[in-house]
A = this chain, B = another copy of it.
């Protein structure tokens, strides 16, 4: 499979982790977000959203990291990325969506560019915005996850929620957020990063276009 990728895109980082957990090798095709390659017609002809990542699955191209990960989980069932049982699965998906809908879209590069370009916000305002949505989202996750003490978000093996959490905490560190209020999240992150599938997906191991 071929992954249209950008190392620091946290959505692409999620898919790299999932591919690694499933033991699937992939060819990474770099799309340079800072140069706007994702908005060019070449890329939009593949993925009209102009967003990274996309996965060329062999049976067609897919966008949206969570859809890609569910696809990988259905096509390659072992090891499962969701627990058994409708309620437990939904709970895992809800944790993942708290990152994917409530935090990440607001702190995306295109959004920060709009805020600076159209509203003229300064660096301090940009950082306050970035931290605000992280803090809202991470506080809710911390509160929910302290109800359990499993090594990962949803039990003894890593899954969809962990796949979303780890790249989000990478972003939080990169933007200088104090993670002291989230000890449970940081402990889950540490458990994940001890695994080769997570460590090998880290942005530092992937080069830019």
Contact A93 B70 (CB under 8 A): yes
Judged by DSSP, the binding face of A is helix
A200 interface residue per 8 A CB criterion: no
1/0 per position for A37-55, CB-CB distance to B under 8 A? 0000000000011110000
Contact A62 B94 (CB under 8 A): yes
Chain B nearest CB from A139 CB (Å) reads: 8
Contact B106 A94 (CB under 8 A): no
Task: Give which listed residue, B57, B67, B129, contacts A114 with CB less than 8 A.
Answer: B129
Task: Give which listed residue, B60, B121, B139, contacts A91 with CB less than 8 A.
Answer: B60
Copies per complex of this chain: 2
What B residues does A114 contact at CB under 8 A? 129, 132
A90 interface residue per 8 A CB criterion: yes
A interface residues, tally (CB under 8 Å): 48
A194 interface residue per 8 A CB criterion: no
What B residues does A190 contact at CB under 8 A? none
Contact A90 B67 (CB under 8 A): yes
A118 interface residue per 8 A CB criterion: yes
Task: Give which listed residue, B90, B105, B129, contacts A68 with CB less than 8 A.
Answer: B90
Given contacts A101-B100, A106-B111, A119-B125, A62 and B74 within 8 Å (CB-CB): no
Contact B111 A86 (CB under 8 A): no
A187 interface residue per 8 A CB criterion: no
Distance, CA A62 to CA B97, complexed state (A): 12
Instruction: Known pairs A64-B94, A75-B86, A97-B100; list 7 more (Cβ under 8 Å).
Output: A48-B140, A48-B144, A71-B87, A71-B89, A102-B105, A106-B111, A119-B125
A-B contact pairs, 24 of them (CB 8 A): A48-B140, A49-B98, A49-B137, A49-B140, A50-B140, A62-B87, A62-B91, A62-B94, A63-B94, A66-B97, A66-B101, A67-B93, A68-B90, A70-B89, A71-B90, A74-B90, A75-B86, A97-B100, A100-B101, A105-B105, A106-B111, A115-B119, A118-B128, A119-B121
